[in-house]
Amino acid sequence: MLDLNELVDIEVTLAYVRYAVMLLVKMMLMSTITAFFRMKKKAFVNPEDTASFGEGENAKKYLRTDPDVERVRRIHLNDLENITPFLFIGFFYSVSGVTLSTALMHYRIFLGSRIFHTIAYLVPLPQPCRALAWMVGYLVTFSMIYKLLMKRMYLVLG
Amino acid sequence: MLDLNELVDIEVTLAYVRYAVMLLVKMMLMSTITAFFRMKKKAFVNPEDTASFGEGENAKKYLRTDPDVERVRRIHLNDLENITPFLFIGFFYSVSGVTLSTALMHYRIFLGSRIFHTIAYLVPLPQPCRALAWMVGYLVTFSMIYKLLMKRMYLVLG
Amino acid sequence: MLDLNELVDIEVTLAYVRYAVMLLVKMMLMSTITAFFRMKKKAFVNPEDTASFGEGENAKKYLRTDPDVERVRRIHLNDLENITPFLFIGFFYSVSGVTLSTALMHYRIFLGSRIFHTIAYLVPLPQPCRALAWMVGYLVTFSMIYKLLMKRMYLVLG
Contact B12, C119 (CB under 8 A): no
pLDDT in tens, B78-125: 999 999 999 999 999 998 889 999 999 999 999 999 999 999 999 998
Residues in chain C: 158
Nearest Cα residue to B105 out of B119, B120, B121, B94: B94
Specify the pLDDT at position C16: 94
How far is the C-alpha of C144 from the C-alpha of C107, rounded, in Å?
Answer: 10
Query: Could you read off the pLDDT of B47-56 as tens digits, one per residue?
Result: 888 887 777 7
Residue B117 is predicted with a pLDDT of: 96
pLDDT at C28 over 50: yes
Confidence of residue B19 (pLDDT cuts 50, 70, 90): very high
Return the exposure string of B54-88: e unless at least 16 CB atoms fall within 10 Å of the residue's CB, then b.
eeeeebeebeeebeebebbbebbbbbbbbbbbbbb
Contact A46 B4 (CB under 8 A): no
* CB half-sphere exposure, A98, CA atoms < 13 A: 29
Which site among C8, C88, C93, C153 would you substitute to test the B interface, given the most B Cβ atoms closer than 10 Å to its Cβ?
Answer: C88
Nearest to A48 among B80, B81, B127 (CB): B127
Rounded to a whole number of angstroms, the distance from the CA of A79 to the nearest CA of chain B is: 10
Interface residues from chain A to B (CB-CB < 8 Å): 4-5, 8, 10, 14, 17-18, 20-21, 24-25, 27-28, 30-31, 45-49, 51-52, 76-77, 80, 84, 87
Mean pLDDT of the C119-138 span: 93
Instruction: For B124, list phi and psi in degrees, rounded to 5.
Output: -85, 145
CA-nearest residue to A3 within chain C is C5
Q: Cβ contacts (< 8 Å) between A134 and chain C: which residues?
A: 31
| Residues β-bridged to residue A44 | A63
Identify the sign of the CA torsion A107, A108, A113, A114. positive
**B-chain residues within 8 Å CB-CB of A25?**
145
Neighbour-count burial for C37-74, b at 16+ CB within 10 Å, e otherwise: bbeeeebbbbebbbeeeeeeeebeebeeebeebebbbe
Which range (A85-94, B14-23, C146-155) has the least confidence?
Answer: C146-155
Pairwise CB contact (< 8 Å): B127 & A17: no
Asked if B51's CB is within 8 angstroms of C145's CB, the reply is: no
Q: How far is B48 from chain C (nearest CA, A)?
A: 6
Distance (Å) from the alpha carbon of B130 to chain A's nearest alpha carbon: 9
Decide which of A2 and C123 is more confident.
C123
Could you tell me the pTM of the whole model?
0.92
Best to test chain A binding among B81, B96, B110, B143 (most A CBs inside 10 Å): B81
Q: Pick the residue from chain B with its C-alpha nearest to A87.
A: B88
Confidence of residue C6 (pLDDT cuts 50, 70, 90): low
Quote the pLDDT of residue C156.
44
A vs B, Cβ pairs < 8 A, gives: 61
Looking at residue B157, what is its pLDDT? 41
Contacts of C152 in chain B (CB under 8 A): 14, 17-18
Residue B77 C-alpha, separation from nearest chain C C-alpha, in angstroms: 8
Q: For domain C4-157, is the CATH number 3.40.50.1390?
A: no
Considering only CB atoms, which chain B residues are within 8 Å of C126?
Answer: 48, 51
Cα angle C17, C21, C22; round to 5: 120
In tens, the pLDDT along B115-145 reads: 999 999 999 988 899 999 999 999 999 999 9
pLDDT of the residue at B152: 66
* Helix runs in B8-128, H state only: 10-40, 57-60, 67-94, 100-122
Residues from chain A that touch C51, judged by Cβ atoms under 8 A, are: 126-127
SS3 content of chain C, % helix, strand, coil (to 5): 80, 0, 20
Task: State the DSSP string of B86-108.
Answer: HHHHHHHHHTTT--HHHHHHHHH
Strand, helix or coil for residue C44: strand
Q: How far is A134 from chain C (nearest CA, A)?
A: 10
The minimal CB distance from C46 to the residues A2, A89, A124 is found for A124
Q: Residues B92, A17: contact at Cβ < 8 Å? A: yes
CA C20 remoteness from chain centre: 9
Ranges of H-type helices in C41-128: 57-60, 67-94, 100-122
- Check pLDDT > 50 for residue C157: no
Residue C122 has pLDDT above 90, yes or no: yes
B51–chain A nearest CA distance, Å: 30
Q: What are C94-110's pLDDT values in tens digits?
A: 988 899 999 999 999 99
Q: Does C153 score more than 60 pLDDT? A: no
Among candidate residues C88, B102, C72, the one with its CA nearest the CA of residue A87: C88
- pLDDT value at position C3? 64
